[in-house]
Amino acid sequence: DNLVRETKNTYPELSQRLSNAHKSAQRFRTFLKDFISDPKDAAKPGSYSVRKLVEDAIDLVSDLQRQLLDTHGIAIEFPQSADCQVYCSKLFRQHLYNLLDNALFWLAKNRGVFGEDHGAVVVKIDFPTYSESGPSTNLNERCRVTVRDNGPGVAAEVLKELREFPLNYSNRRQEGGSGYGLWVLRQYADTIGAWIDLDSSPGEFFEVTILLDVFHDKIHRQKKWGKGW
């Protein structure tokens, strides 16, 4: 904090780089806390409240990006919704955080495109319905989490490439983007049987949709360590 403050006027570029490093350290410290408190449980899939995971991710990004939110008048909206237990791990919260953080970046960078409107990220939870019915229909229930921003979006050719979830592809390369975010999210989704889709319209929105299994003990029974698990 002292270095950022002391270099702000004399070395603004250095000050900004120090500020970015400080934010990264804060994010890492918060994320690491989960592993330190319970290292076995952090990545272990199980039954989790989807609303609690979303709320935790929003609280985390709001805390770490408060200055950006206030400076650019960006809102994170999370309409009240039903809750359920989904099959995932605590890591899902961090992936949600990454999606929110990325949305805030593009909203702030393209603040001028909104005119008098406010930039906003909207997170929704709902439960898609299917026409199929049968004795095991309740075992195939899904919970849908969408993260949608009203930022610049991407062109059709870029969206097509992003839907392939390529490794090391980033539109934030000049700002230090790694290109790992969506790729890692896809890898994570594959491990828990989730499904990811992307949608966008240039100048209007960018949206990430995640379908998670509603937890059922019959099909998501906890695996136990040891012989024969």
Confidence category of residue 218, pLDDT binned at 50, 70, 90: confident
Whether 223 has a pLDDT exceeding 70, the answer reads no
- In 3D space, the residue among 188, 200, 192, 126 whose CA is nearest the CA of residue 163 turns out to be 200
Radius of gyration of the chain (CA): 19
Q: Judge whether residue 190 has pLDDT over 90.
A: yes
Contact 167, 181 (CB under 8 A): no
Q: Across the strands, what pairs with 75?
A: 120
Q: Which residue has the tokens 């921003």?
A: 149
Q: pLDDT tens digits for 94-151?
A: 899 999 999 998 898 887 555 556 789 999 999 987 655 555 556 779 999 999 999 8
User: Can you say whether the dihedral through the CA atoms of 40, 24, 103, 75 is positive or negative?
Assistant: positive
Q: What is the dihedral of CA 153, 159, 163, 168, to 10 degrees?
A: -80
Confidence of residue 42 (pLDDT cuts 50, 70, 90): confident
Predicted TM-score (pTM) of the model is 0.77
As given in the structure block, the two tokens for residue 19 are: 């500020």
Contact indicator for 96, 59 with CB cutoff of 8 Å = no
Bridge partners, 122 (sequence order): 77, 148
Asked if residue 104 lies in contact with residue 57, where contact means CB atoms within 8 angstroms, the answer is no
Res 171: pLDDT: 64
Give the Cα separation of 78 and 154 in Å (integer).
23
What rounded mean pLDDT belongs to the chain? 83
